[in-house]
Amino acid sequence: MCARLSSLLQHPIRPPLALGILFAVVFVAAETVLSLALEFYTGSRALAVVYLLGVLVASYLWGLWLGLAMVLVSGLAFNVFNLPPYGSFGFTENWVWLHMLVFVSVNTASCVIAALARSRAIEADERRREAALAADLAHLLLASEDPGAALPVVSRRLARGLRLPGLVLERGTAVPGEGRRALPLRADGERVATLTYPTDLTEDVRRRLSDRMVASIEALLQVAHDREAVEIALEASRDENRRIAEEQAALRRVATLVARGTSPTELFNAVACEMGLILKADRVVVGRFEPSHATVVGAWSALDDLDSKKIIGLRWPLDQPGVSGRVWRLRQPARMTGYDRATGPVAEWARGEGIVLSVGCPILVEARLWGIVIAFATDPKKEFDGAEERMLAFTALVATAISNAQARADLAASRARVVAAADESRRLIERNLHDGAQQRLVSLGLALRAAEADVPGEVRGRLSQTAQGLTEVLEDLRELSRGIHPAILSKGGLMPALKMLARRSAVPVELEVGLDRRLPEVVEVAVYFVVSEALSNVAKHACASEARVSLWADARAVHLLIRDDGRGGADPERGSGLVGLRDRVEAIGGRMDIASPVGQGTSLSVVIPVEGSSGPSPFSLPFAGQDADKDADKEADKDAGASRQ
């Protein structure tokens, strides 16, 4: 009841004027009757104050003008009916003018105050509504995930809150229809929404709208816009972080494989796999460039990984349509869609596999073109957006891994070369000693002996002593030569050399040799010196009654096993010449293990790879330096020329 009254009193739209006039007439009549009745019973004219009631109501509900009209009519009625001369209008008698003056003044003042109160109450109510509306709008806009999508709801709430059904808040730039106007709403200087309203709004409402509501809605939109921007940035940053973390993890796995000395194929397969997972590709191939083709060295497939490995070792010509040729010529990432019309083995393979898109990225190791990584998609929906950039970042780090592996391989090769060179120079020294000094000494000895026959007895004796001395020098030289390089090894190979070692050993040696071919010299020399040192150790330290030397070779490696039945307990890290021999064995890619439990003899096992030990490292650059680069440049020029024509 109270609320309804309050709502009625504060309703911004006034009741119809006709109703007001009727109200005025009826009220003035009723008040006149009432005041006369009161005056009759009380004898006091002061109760004519009841006229004030009608003025207040009229002024409050219908406004100042009707209120003032009411004052005028009430004054007239008061003068005619309540003041002498009764029944007619006049100011002259008994201070009538003073009565009238007080009546009109009080009523006019009340009328003005009532009108003012109403407008203030309405304004206060409006402000309260606006505040509530703003709070609602803020809630609607800011609680929503997508402020743009919340705009229709906001628009309805706004129209309801402002009691303007024609008000519409729209996203972006909206063109107002006929009979409507638009107010742009901006955030960050950019028009994000438009408020449209009918042109028939009162000036007052329009001002309220543009002065107050637009500002607060703009502020809200700005906040929502900022929040959206922050969320987008956060999400992007989260994505970026996740991507970086994934890439880092992938690289760590690759780096671990490199550090473990994994075989190149396994390493490149792992690189292909990691790249495939990062790019969400269907297939990935790692290729190594050679002068006329790219050799597939690693592969991965999301569907059938085992099957995908079949293409490893294939050679893809670089002069036929395909990503690899383009990357080779341009030294930059390239992509290719549609293999329908392309010819050549690559295109055939791609068609067979249902590939619709491929993106290739060069692997540059130490600024030189080493190879290529190609990601393939069989799903036409995949676009590999920005894949080139991610592949470049990843391949740059893979290149570091390859470079490390290459450095390791190069170092190993260099150690092997150093050992081989040392062996070779020892062999040469032995050779030169033999062919030079020893040969000369032998001839001198023979010449001396020939001379002996021609000279008399005393001199002959001295000559004979000299010849004996020469022979001793010769024997010393031979001993020296033997330590430098065993002649029998270069002349007869391992078998007789080991037999010689066995024959000379102080401890009886049982020799089992299962070799059907000569081994690389560096391997023979290593085996010889290991056996020699081991047998010498057995004689010196092992207190053994027998030693057993077994040597056999399979397609990939030479195996040497030396056992004795001595007291064991040998420490391979200390003292013995085995440390140097271990270095020699490892330098040529082999392994040496010693087991020497106390009381159970010592066994020394050596495995030396023989296949591929002399070939180039699988990691090394496809071809050396400048020429290759020049060729590539030439190719690139040709390519550019072709496309110009």
Q: Which residues bind other proteins (CB under 8 A)?
A: 434, 438-443, 445-447, 449-450, 453, 470-471, 474-475, 478, 482, 486-488, 491-492, 495-497, 499-500, 503-504
Q: What is the number of residues in the chain?
A: 645
Residue 3 or residue 453: which is nearer to other proteins going by CB? 453
- Residue 515, SS3 per DSSP: coil
Residue 172 or residue 496: which is nearer to other proteins going by CB? 496
Which residues neighbour 391 within 8 Å (Cβ) at sequence distance 6 or greater? 275, 279, 333, 359, 361, 373, 375
Q: How far is the CB of 441 from other proteins (least distance, A)?
A: 8
Residue 22 or residue 442: which is nearer to other proteins going by CB? 442
Q: How far is the CB of 449 from other proteins (least distance, A)?
A: 6
Residue 47 or residue 515: which is nearer to other proteins going by CB? 515
Q: How far is the CB of 610 from other proteins (least distance, A)?
A: 23
CB 394 within 8 A of CB 252: no
Q: How far is the CB of 608 from other proteins (least distance, A)?
A: 22
- Residue 624, SS3 per DSSP: coil
Residue 75 or residue 486: which is nearer to other proteins going by CB? 486
Greatest Cα pair distance in the chain: 200
Q: What is the 3-state secondary structure (H, E, C) of 162-216?
A: CCCCCCEEEECCCCCCCCEEEEEEEECCEEEEEEEEECCCCHHHHHHHHHHHHHH
CB 151 within 8 A of CB 170: yes
Instruction: Give the closest residue to 501 by CA, choosing from 477, 546, 478, 533.
Output: 533
- Number of helices followed by number of strands (H, E) in the chain: 20, 14
CA distance 433 to 555: 37
For tokens 């050992």, the residue is 419
* Helices 51-62, 96-143: inter-axial angle, 10-degree rounding: 30
Q: How far is the CB of 475 from other proteins (least distance, A)?
A: 7
CA distance 134 to 217: 8
Peptide bond into 496 cis (omega under 30): no
Residue 26 or residue 442: which is nearer to other proteins going by CB? 442
Residue 203 or residue 516: which is nearer to other proteins going by CB? 516
Phi, psi torsion values for 336, nearest 5 degrees: -145, 135
Q: How far is the CB of 480 from other proteins (least distance, A)?
A: 12
CA distance 75 to 473: 161
What element of type H or E holds 563?
A: strand 557-564
Residue 147 or residue 486: which is nearer to other proteins going by CB? 486
Residue 145 or residue 516: which is nearer to other proteins going by CB? 516
For tokens 């010393």, the residue is 476
Q: How far is the CB of 581 from other proteins (least distance, A)?
A: 22
Residue 310 or residue 518: which is nearer to other proteins going by CB? 518
